[in-house]
Chains A and B, each alone.
Chain A
Amino acid sequence: MAEDSGLAKLPQATVVPGKRFRVSIVWAIPVLAAVVAIGIAVQRILSEGPTITVVFRSAEGLEAGKSFIKYKDVNIGQVTAVQLASDYSQVEIKAKIAKSAAGLMVEDARFWVVRPRIALTGVSGLGTLLSGNYIGFASGKSDQPRRSFTGLEVPPIVTGGLPGRQFLLRAETLGSLGIGSPIYYRRLPVGEVVAYDLAADGKNVDIKVFVQSPYDKYVNPGTRFWNASGIDVSLNANGFDVRTESLAALVAGGLAFDTPVFAPTAAPAAADTAFTLYSTRAVAMKQPETVARHYVLYFNETVRGLSIGAPVTLFGMPVGEVTDVGLSFDPGTLDVHPRVEFTFYPERMVMRLSGRQELAAQALAESSEQKRHAVLRRLVEERGLRAQLKSGSLITGQLYVAFNFYPNAPRAKIDWNRDAPVLPSVESLIPDLEAKLPEIVDKINKLPLQAIAEDLKKNLETLDQTLKSANKLVSHVDADVVPELKGTLEEARRAMAAAERVMKGAESTLVGPNAPTQQELRDTLQEVSRTARSLRVLTDYLERHPDSLIRGKSEQKFGRQ
């Protein structure tokens, strides 16, 4: 009962009216947690953009979770998976697109892998060397949403939003052009080749070009495009012609355009207008001849050096060009003649006339055939209009056809009976070197070589005399001037020797090995050294026999010690 009494001693607890049991406030914590977690989940789901699939040929440098899709350098998505397509031939890339960019995923959106590229026309994508490759994006214009795309292997040149216009060029061959080849306007790069494809019939190449704003306004329906690739070297009767647009175009190819002066001023061409691509500037800028008349010429001499396209001139002005060079053979008479066909463009001639004459000539060119023929006949028969081969360049031997008046030429008539009228010609004045060679040799033979040689001999003799007198002059100098000079030199040498002696004396007294000063110094030093030696002996002795200071030097007894 000791326990009971012990318990009884404990104090009695006080009673405080308690609260009734109810659900604890602590349940607010899990409720709050649930609200937060659900909130985050909902936000995640709501902000989730679409997942797209892009197919590439290779996934070079792309990594799931690390590579981004960028549009105007803004991240609009992230690659979530890089895997092989079901047929193993391509790579499928899945990417999660930000919700804000979901509207961009339309049918004609384009994707490509941005990696460093170094081409002749430029360097791009160097930033990816540090940050890794990413997927570039170009928006499309369509409204149809799409979730799977095929990626481009080469970045597109014109990304959406760049102002300018596209045009279509039709060319025979692609030449050295490629996507990205520049387009020049007055040697200013103003655009690029965007795409090319074989035309549907397989006979042409369709080249799509993009000309940036504001330069696109210089392209009007009369504009000519030509291939500016490489160096355009032409060798013709006009001489040597070299043209190139720029070094880049030289290496990588390029196009150029310009509007010829004769083209009517017109409004800028609409987008996607088709143009012909000419091979060279010369061809492109040539005025289109609306009226062309064909004539034939026969010559009695070689036409070697006369090529198709060679100019036909009238008093030096180009009025036409050679279209064919051939032969004519008459089996009856066995006559063989070179036959030259050419085209005459009256407009070129009219163009070079002045004022009122131009109008008259224009009227004539457009008049009836009979009237024109009558004029031509009178020119040939009364004034002596004749064709003649002329050498355009002595170096290249290129020929051209020149028309001039030869009033003294034998009378001739135009042969109207052929397909094309035959005009008369006269023999050329081109020197035939082979024919002239014996003449030249003959002339050389006739040269007064003997006389020349004699003259030369006389000249040489005179020269000899001149040299002799020069020699005399030199010997005079030798005899009179040189002895004096010699004396002066001797004097100088003596002075030098004296100076040397002085120097030597100074040396022997002061610093020479047997100089007196030196000797004395040496003696003194020897004395000092002797003194030092005896001092050392003294101190040694004192150290051993300190008592000798008092007692004096004791006799050394060698025998006992």
Chain B
Amino acid sequence: MNGSALTAAQAGLVSCETCDLLSRAATPAQPGHCPRCGAPLQSRRHQSIQYTWALVIAAAIFYVPANMLPVLTTNTLGSSESDTIMSGVIYLYTSGSWPLALIVLIASIMIPMGKIVALAYLLITVQRGSIKNNRDRSRLYRLVELIGRWSMLDVFVDTFVVALVQLEPLMSVQPGPGVLFFMSVVVLTMLAAQSFDPRLIWDAGRRRQVGHG
């Protein structure tokens, strides 16, 4: 079953991504434009792997300052304290609320990291033409796309707290530069997941089959 079914690309067909009209490609290299809506046709997303790689690398770079810089600065009567995501997790853990610490750890540290790793894994396997675990890999892709939006939890809490806790001069909370980078990581991984073309997973199998047969 793996990649054995006839794909549209194999049949010289291409479906319009805008209006879903299935049409015959002008040439296999350049499918041309949709005859109905005029949108450019592409049997696979244009430079999908390159785009995804670029976005994943950018996200990985931003992941470092996102975790190193403070996301929250708390001023309490003259003394101010800056917290990074990790120090917040540690603080929550040491102050006894380990379930909260676990939630923040998973949502803010593990999920962005996991997304970057998952996308990199998908890209590498596609580029190497792997045919193993095709279904699992497409499931992984769907998962990455699904949980993307939930990584904004930390940013949401941060903005919420900053807006609420403004009790000058007793106490005030200021956002740190880390939150900007964290948000960039989340947005970039979401864009990367979107620019990745899951159909490429199945192409490798066909190529290999063609090669064998």
Contacts and interface: CB of A to CB of B under 8 A. Distances in A.
Interface of A: 7, 10-16, 18, 23-24, 26-27, 29-30, 32-34, 36-37, 40-41, 65-68, 127, 130-132
Contacts of A15: 26-27, 30, 32
A33 B58 contact: yes
A12 B24 contact: yes
Nearest to B69: A40
Given A15-B26, A131-B77, A132-B79, A37 B54 contact: no
Contacts of B13: 10
Given A32-B58, A37-B62, A14 B32 contact: yes
Closest 9 CB pairs of A and B: A13-B26, A131-B78, A13-B32, A33-B58, A30-B58, A30-B57, A33-B61, A26-B54, A29-B58
B64 interface: yes
A36 B61 CA distance: 9
21 contacts: A10-B22, A11-B23, A11-B24, A11-B35, A14-B33, A15-B32, A16-B30, A18-B29, A24-B47, A26-B54, A27-B54, A30-B55, A30-B61, A32-B58, A33-B58, A33-B184, A36-B62, A36-B65, A37-B65, A41-B65, A132-B79
B205 interface: no
Contacts of B77: 130-131
Contacts, number: 88
B62 A33 contact: yes
Interface in B80-137: 81
Interface of B: 11, 13-14, 22-27, 29-33, 35, 40-41, 47, 50-51, 54-55, 57-59, 61-62, 64-65, 69, 77-79, 81, 177, 184, 188
Given A30-B57, A68-B79, A13 B31 contact: yes
Counting chain A CB atoms within 10 Å of each CB, the highest count among B47, B54, B64 belongs to B54
A15 B23 CA distance: 13
B35 A14 contact: yes
A65 B81 CA distance: 7
Contact of B24 (A10, A66, A67, A130): A10
A65 B184 CA distance: 28
Contacts of B22: 10
B35 A13 contact: yes
Contacts of A40: 65, 69, 177
B41 A13 contact: yes
Contacts of A12: 24, 26
Contact of A29 (B25, B27, B32, B55): B55
B28 to A, nearest CB: 11
A35 to B, nearest CB: 9
B86 to A, nearest CB: 14
Nearest to B35: A11
A16 B77 CA distance: 68
Contacts of B24: 7, 10-13
A66 B54 contact: no
